[in-house]
């Protein structure tokens, strides 16, 4: 991202702090987006920030109601917005925010390795009022379709010291958003943020996020921190729900998600939850709500409320619907998603890669010793098709290469040609396409990263290590070179520390396609499984690599 583009995105971000002088509930803080600067300044932020300040007799049905106006919250709320622009931004602003946090200010220390200097001045501290807290039904519906309580989903809390909340606690408030009005005019510039509909996005599009980790804690360090990733998955009507692999932290809830074009950055979504866990597995994806879905909900509320005169708030007009293909697309070729399929074996599932119209590669542990599996082609959720496949080969449990070959009962004629890599370049951009986490709920997910290491034995690649996020269900998925479009390998595993029960989704391992290519060609041309059977007879050095162990060193014998 260029300096100009980065500063433009950052100027749309702000920090929200909510408290009450006569209430003991403390201060809530998070990130927000400036939809307009003047006149008047309009801010969009998470509705959950205001949940602690409801009147005592108010018990809203979060799943059914559409809007909560300011009269349902404690009178005298103190809402403060720290944003870019203005002159009174330096020490006075930092002191005011620090005071807002009171004596419960969380302790955060620099890592001794860090030597980051003070951020430049240029902030403005403003008072704001609450206009409304509105629900986004489109996001709520999409969320309920792909996130199930039986999967034990967890989401990061608003306070960075707070442990993750259960789905039952988070679900009622995740689809609520607050609109604020800044009380002090900003005479420096008058502008509306440029928004685009999420329906114009597709998986693999590059996105940038802008939020403030830890909310109002230490804004001179964390305010409007940028991150970069891709659209990993989409769900709901007009893509109301987005998932991105951009790295975000607690406190960035309410931050903006932007796409870029030749016309600059455009707001496409609002961060809902920066950290997601499925049971004890960290997913490593950020949950996002499409901004056009939020604004459409607000527009509907305003149009049906005669006693709410706000001619200056025209949320539906913020979204430029004519730019259907605005996002710059320099990621993975969309057609490569079609070769990755969902493999079902009883109640479990994994991923697979179609090598041609009838042959599929997956992992041994995905087929679970079965003689046949079901293969779903769900790239287009509207055209779900199921084909049965026969497991013609599966490596032994003793083999380090966790691989299985499946032949479909019916050949397919619409698959794109799959180019195979013959060489690997550490540091190159890669993408992983798989059905991790969500199964068939919203099609394959795409995550981005780099090829972090190529492990060789006798100068031949035997393992590829990548930083793209993978999860349960990703086994058997495809590791692609992002720019070449070539298949680099078959995803076999990520990393887990069994001593503490932690899984690391951004460190994963794939079987190089060069290990499998000759075996595939032997089977295609001669019907021979000899090449695959050789995978059960590899040497001890390869065994050691895939056991994640050091190669044994022969020690000198003692003379005693």
The span from the CA of 524 to the CA of 514, in Å, is 16
The C-alpha angle 229, 258, 469, rounded to 5 degrees, equals 15
Tell me whether strands 281-282 and 445-457 are parallel, antiparallel or unpaired: unpaired
Cis preceding-peptide flag for 40 (omega within 30 of 0): yes
3-state secondary structure of 494: strand
Contact 200/193 with Cβ under 8 angstroms?
no
How much is the CA Rg of the chain, to the nearest whole Å?
Answer: 26
The answer to whether 229 and 246 have CB atoms below 8 angstroms apart is yes
398: left (phi over 0), alpha (psi -120 to 50) or beta: alpha
List for the chain the helix, strand, coil content (%; round to 5).
20, 35, 40
C-beta of residue 488 within 8 angstroms of C-beta of residue 424: yes
Residue/partner pairs of 224-227 with CB below 8 Å, 24 or more apart:
224/10, 224/13, 224/14, 224/84, 225/252, 226/1, 226/6, 226/9, 226/10
CB-based contact 270:289 (threshold 8 Å): yes
Contact indicator for 230, 206 with CB cutoff of 8 Å = yes
CB–CB of 42/313 below 8 Å?
Answer: yes
Nearest to 95 by CA among 222, 181, 216, 225: 216
- Residue 325: Cβ within 10 Å count: 11
Neighbouring CB atoms inside 10 A of 189's CB total 9
CA–CA distance from 32 to each of 253, 366, 418, 535 (Å)?
8, 42, 43, 53
CA distance linking residue 165 with residue 380, whole number of Å? 33
Distance CA 243, CA 438 (A): 11
| Partners of 270 in the β-ladder | 256, 289
What are the φ and ψ backbone dihedral angles of 436, each rounded to 5 degrees? -65, 145
- 548's torsion region: left (phi>0), alpha (psi -120 to 50) or beta? left
The phi, psi pair for 557, rounded to 5°, reads: -70, 145
**Kind and range of the H or E run holding 259:** strand 256-261
Which residues have a catalytic role annotated? 365, 402, 475
User: 199 near 323, Cβ under 8 Å?
Assistant: no
Three-state SS at 279: coil
- Per DSSP, 216 falls in state T
């Amino acid at each position: 991202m260029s300096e100009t583009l980065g500063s433009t995105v950052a100027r749309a971000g702000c920090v929200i702090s909510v408290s009450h002088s006569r209430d003991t509930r403390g201060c809530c803080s998070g990130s927000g987006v400036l939809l307009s600067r003047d006149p008047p300044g309009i801010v969009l932020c998470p509705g959950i920030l205001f949940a602690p300040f409801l009147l005592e007799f108010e018990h809203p049905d979060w799943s059914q109601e559409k809007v909560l106006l300011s009269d349902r919250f404690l009178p005298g709320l103190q809402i403060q917005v720290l944003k870019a622009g203005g002159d009174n931004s330096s020490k006075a602003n930092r002191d005011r925010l620090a005071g807002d946090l009171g004596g419960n200010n969380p302790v955060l220390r620099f890592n001794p390795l860090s030597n980051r200097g003070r951020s430049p001045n240029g902030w403005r501290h403003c008072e704001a009022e609450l206009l409304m807290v509105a629900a986004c039904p489109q996001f709520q519906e999409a969320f309920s379709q792909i996130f199930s309580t039986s999967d034990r989903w967890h989401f990061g809390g608003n306070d960075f010291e707070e442990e993750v909340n259960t789905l039952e606690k988070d679900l009622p408030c995740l689809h609520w958003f607050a609109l604020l009005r800044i009380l002090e005019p900003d005479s420096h510039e008058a502008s509306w943020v440029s928004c685009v509909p999420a329906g114009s996005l597709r998986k693999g599009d590059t996105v940038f996020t802008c939020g403030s980790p830890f909310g109002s804690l230490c804004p001179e360090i964390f305010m409007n921190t940028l991150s970069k990733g891709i659209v990993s998955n989409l769900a709901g009507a007009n893509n109301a729900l987005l998932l991105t692999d951009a790295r975000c932290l607690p406190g960035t809830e309410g931050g903006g998600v932007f796409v870029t074009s030749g016309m600059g950055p455009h707001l496409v979504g609002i961060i809902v939850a920066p950290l997601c866990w499925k049971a004890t597995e960290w997913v490593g994806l950020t949950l996002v709500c499409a901004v056009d879905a939020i604004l459409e909900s607000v527009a509907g509320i305003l149009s049906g409320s005669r006693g709410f005169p706000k001619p200056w708030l025209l949320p539906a007009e913020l979204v430029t619907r004519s730019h259907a293909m605005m996002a710059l697309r320099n990621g993975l070729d969309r057609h490569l998603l079609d070769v990755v399929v969902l493999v079902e074996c009883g109640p479990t599932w994994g991923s697979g890669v179609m090598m041609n119209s009838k042959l599929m590669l997956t992992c041994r542990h995905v087929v679970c010793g079965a003689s046949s599996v079901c293969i779903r082609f769900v790239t287009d959720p509207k055209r779900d098709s199921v084909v049965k496949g026969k497991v013609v080969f599966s490596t032994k449990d003793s083999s380090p290469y966790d691989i299985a070959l499946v032949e479909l009962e019916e050949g397919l004629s619409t698959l794109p040609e799959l180019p195979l890599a013959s060489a690997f370049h550490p540091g190159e951009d890669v993408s992983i396409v798989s059905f991790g986490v969500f199964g068939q709920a919203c099609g394959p997910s795409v995550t981005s990263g780099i090829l972090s290491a190529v492990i060789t034995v006798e100068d031949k690649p035997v393992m590829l290590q990548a930083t793209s996020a993978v999860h349960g269900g990703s086994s058997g998925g495809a590791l692609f070179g992002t720019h070449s479009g070539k298949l680099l390998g078959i995803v076999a595993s990520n990393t887990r520390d069994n001593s503490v029960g932690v899984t690391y989704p951004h460190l994963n391992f794939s079987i190089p396609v060069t290990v499998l290519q000759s075996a595939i060609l032997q089977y295609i041309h001669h019907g021979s499984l000899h090449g695959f059977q050789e995978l059960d007879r590899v040497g001890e050095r390869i065994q050691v690599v895939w056991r994640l162990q050091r190669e044994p060193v022969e020690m000198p014998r003692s003379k005693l």
